[in-house]
Structure 1
Amino acid sequence: MLVSEQGLFRQETRQSRNRAWLGEIVMISPPSRWLWGAFAGLIALCFVLFLLFGQYTRRERVVGQVVPSSGLLNVAAVSTGAVARLYVRDGQVVRRGDPLLEVSSERNSTDLGDVHALIGKKLADKRGRLEADFRTQQVAARQQTQALQEKIELLYGQLQQAELQIVIQRQQVESAQNLLDRIQPLEKDRYISIFEIERQQSAVRDAHLQYNGLVRLRLDLRQQLADAKEQLSKLPLDAAVQHNQIAREISDVAESLAQNEMERAVLFRAQADGVVSTVLIKTGQMVSAGQPMLSLLPADATLQAQILVPGRAIGFISPGTPVMLRYAAFPYQKFGQQRGRVMEISRSALSPAEVTTLTGQVPPENEGPLYRVQVALDRQYVLVFGKQEPIKPGAAFEADVLIERRRLVEWLFEPLYGIRERLKEAG
């Protein structure tokens, strides 16, 4: 008779055989494991949110300088000399016409002493003589005009008298001729002698001669009157010619005198209302022609920043683009960055010569084309320990132009966007 396996072994033996020799698997989950998992998930969620909502601004770092909106008024020496007097200082407010400084160019000679003073005295004497000649010429012109007018009046009188004498003499000629005509027939009857007739004929001839003489006198008086009138009409023109000649000589002397005084000492005055921006010289310092001495900031001028932006970034810049400036004179670590906004962009790239003129430096060859950009400053000053320190023209700075602001995920997938756009164009 067979015995079943269930009956052959005891229940405890069967249960022991069913167990693995390594024991049962037990899942142990301590609380710290759940905490670390939640923390990792939170970090992953924050990273995803950061990619989705975080933003990054692309910046273009440039350099530039501060310039006045209406230009800086520079005062330069016109000739070589020494600064004799300095009437202003940095930051001083001046009005149009106020004296700024005086430059002296006096030269001394061993034999003549102060050459400029001697030349000035000679020129002043010459001008005095010319002015005396000018006054004399005016008096002479008036006297000649008066003399001619009197002569014309006298000739008119003489002409009238000659006309009257001609009339009388014509009557005498006619009377003598009539008498001769009446007595000539009487000579045949011996009522009158031949001698009387010849004497009457002589009287007729004398009357004709006197009449012809008066006619010639009238012609002569008329010619004299015409000449006097012509002289009187030409006199203002001749006087004006002499007047202009002397005036030109006086003007030439005055110009030479002014040039001499300018070479001797030049007083520079303010060309407009404003503030003295920079004084580059001191009293007693020698200056040469064309050397800058000081500059004026016009009263109505505001300061703006001028930067040069490379062509690779100019396409993303437009009026209103924000700019962050860091002045070299005011470290941004202590005084912060200053704000500004793009105001104007040049339409064409600057040539290397124009860049050199603006910056005073030759641009690097690998920089590419540069565009001039004008930036309006939010403030005309920098807060230095609670005090408003004005920004000075010409101040150098480094700036960041905030070109483009996008979310991080857009920057991350930008290559994919580019591929998609190219596929669209290709399709």
Structure 2
Amino acid sequence: MAEDSASPLFRGEALKWRQEAWIGSVQLIEPLSGKIAALCTVALVICVGIYVFFGSYTRRIHANGVMLPPEGLVVAEADQGGVVAAIHIHEGDHVAAGERLFSVDVSSWSEDGATGQQLVEGLRRQKDLLEHRQNLLAADAPVELSSLKDELESLRQQYGMLQEQSGRDKKSLPLIERAMNEMRTAMDRHLVTETQFQSQLFSYVQFMDTQSQTLRTLVEMNGHMADLQYRINRHQYKVAEDMNDLAVRLSDVQRQLIQAHGQSMGVINARVSGTVDGIRTVVGQRVNPGQSLLSILPDRATLQAELYVNSQAIGFVRPGQHVLLKYAAYPYQRFGLYEGEVVEVTKAPLPERSNYAARTGQQGGSASAPQPGADVYRIRVRPNQEFVIAYGKHEKLKPGMAVDAEIAIDQRKLYQWLLDPVVSMVDTVRSISGGGAPARSLADSAAQPDTPSPAPSRQNDTKGTP
């Protein structure tokens, strides 16, 4: 009985399970069938194969540049060194050809002040004197002509009076001569004394002298009247000659005045009509000859993206290709990308643009950007729209605005890109062995890609996005 009372009521396994029940119960999960797993794997492999065979990959290059009109910006430069005295326009103003842009003080200085300004003032006084003389001559010409005519009329009256007197003397001369003959005959007959005859002869001589004096006066007056008539007839031509002489002197003074102005104050005018952009100076700043002062966007000029790439990226770029533009002033993360089209690709490199393109590429950090001293090719892209939509407003593109571009240059099947290393290796082996057709030619002819093109450079493969 004692042994029965000491033995447990339940089995030890049941009690142990009871103590470990708080851990939880064991559940047996049956795994998926091996057939289902195999089917899923086969389906996945088939999908991947279809994607690789039918899917395509587009390789893109990245280019940097600026927005410029195809004809370029017209740059206003300083003709000579000096200090900017006045700026007659503002940023964004529209100017006409010949309109004044800047006034530049280019005069030299002495103890008495600006030599150019002193010369200008002296020439201005000389010009004023000549103009005053011109006005006096123009006002005096009618008065002088009237005086000449009055003098001629007076001479004509005197000439008429002398002619009448000469006519009377001619009528009296026969009578006086007859009286002299009678007096001589009477003296011969001793009817009159010699004294009486001498007195009569003296009167005759005085009469003849008076007549001769009258005739000489008539001749002199006739010459004087002819001279006055000549002066009257030539008066208008003489006045014109004097006016022309003064005009020549005024023209010479004006030329000297222009030269003096050029030596004291230079003027820079707009060469074309357009919109002012990028004023690069302020009043009081000293400028050097040839220094750029501002740019003018000509009227009716359309902006295009002028991009620069190196020789490794230019091989597949053609006019008409699609381009995505990103403007630095309007980040594409917020304002989006804008489409464009390639309109021009240079056939030869532009060495004069290499430094500028290299700086632009370094800022953009692109692998296809030109390096200093490397060949630079220019690509012109026409944007589909000349504005950017920013916060609901159309912001017009501005010249000189930095722009980045993504240009799609090559599109092929995915399996072609995956087989490139293998095909390249086979080509290398075949070229070394010298037998058989190139594997690349066979692969490309069998693959028939969507856009036939040569195998791309391996350096830019990472720049595209599938």
TM-score when normalising by structure 2: 0.56
In structure 2, C-alpha distance between the alignment counterparts of 1:220 and 1:303, rounded to whole Å: 87
In structure 1, C-alpha distance between the alignment counterparts of 2:229 and 2:344, rounded to whole Å: 73
Structure-to-structure mapping, 1:7-406, within 5 angstroms: 30=35, 32-33=37-38, 36-37=41-42, 39-41=44-46, 43-50=48-55, 63-68=64-69, 72-83=73-84, 90=91, 92-93=92-93, 103-104=104-105, 109=110, 111-113=111-113, 118-119=118-119, 121-139=121-139, 141-173=141-173, 179=178, 214-232=214-232, 233=234, 234-248=237-251, 250-252=253-255, 254-255=257-258, 258-259=261-262, 262=265, 275-297=275-297, 301-307=301-307, 317-318=318-319, 321-330=321-330, 332=332, 335-342=335-342, 367=375, 374-383=380-389, 389-400=395-406
1:291-339 per-position Cα deviation (integer Å, ceiling 9, x unaligned): 2233344565442233568999699845x55443344555556654432
What SS does the aligned partner of 1:152 have?
Answer: helix
* Structure 2: runs of 5 or more not aligned: 1-33, 360-369, 417-440, 450-466
1:216-269 per-position Cα deviation (integer Å, ceiling 9, x unaligned): 444433322332333341521442244224423542464356346516xx6x78
**Shift, 1:416, TM fit:** 9.3
Residue 412 (structure 1) aligned with residue 444 (structure 2): yes
**Shift, 1:276, TM fit:** 4.3
What SS does the aligned partner of 1:413 have?
Answer: helix
Q: Which amino acid aligns with 1:393?
A: P
In structure 2, C-alpha distance between the alignment counterparts of 1:175 and 1:373, rounded to whole Å: 121
Q: Which amino acid aligns with 1:381?
A: F
**Shift, 1:285, TM fit:** 3.3
What SS does the aligned partner of 1:393 have?
Answer: coil
Q: 1:145, 1:235 within 8 Å by CA — same for their partners in 2?
A: no
Q: Which amino acid aligns with 2:290?
A: G
Q: 1:306, 1:373 within 8 Å by CA — same for their partners in 2?
A: yes
Q: 2:75, 2:295 within 8 Å by CA — same for their partners in 1?
A: yes
Distance change in 2, residues 1:200/1:115 (3 Å): closer
Aligned to 1:420: none
Q: 1:70, 1:302 within 8 Å by CA — same for their partners in 2?
A: no
Distance change in 2, residues 1:182/1:116 (3 Å): closer
In structure 1, C-alpha distance between the alignment counterparts of 2:413 and 2:129, rounded to whole Å: 88
What SS does the aligned partner of 1:225 have?
Answer: helix
In structure 2, C-alpha distance between the alignment counterparts of 1:183 and 1:373, rounded to whole Å: 129
In structure 2, C-alpha distance between the alignment counterparts of 1:329 and 1:148, rounded to whole Å: 83
What SS does the aligned partner of 1:279 have?
Answer: coil
Q: 2:95, 2:274 within 8 Å by CA — same for their partners in 1?
A: yes
In structure 1, C-alpha distance between the alignment counterparts of 2:401 and 2:445, rounded to whole Å: 41
Distance change in 2, residues 1:210/1:95 (3 Å): same
Q: 1:76, 1:289 within 8 Å by CA — same for their partners in 2?
A: yes
Cα RMSD after superposing both structures:
5.7
Q: 1:95, 1:273 within 8 Å by CA — same for their partners in 2?
A: yes
Q: Report % sequence identity.
A: 23
Distance change in 2, residues 1:169/1:108 (3 Å): same
**Shift, 1:117, TM fit:** 5.6
Q: How many residues align?
A: 374
In structure 2, C-alpha distance between the alignment counterparts of 1:287 and 1:152, rounded to whole Å: 68
Aligned to 1:21: none
In structure 1, C-alpha distance between the alignment counterparts of 2:155 and 2:411, rounded to whole Å: 103
In structure 2, C-alpha distance between the alignment counterparts of 1:351 and 1:165, rounded to whole Å: 104
Q: Which amino acid aligns with 2:77?
A: A
Aligned to 1:26: none
What SS does the aligned partner of 2:289 have?
Answer: coil
Q: 1:138, 1:239 within 8 Å by CA — same for their partners in 2?
A: no
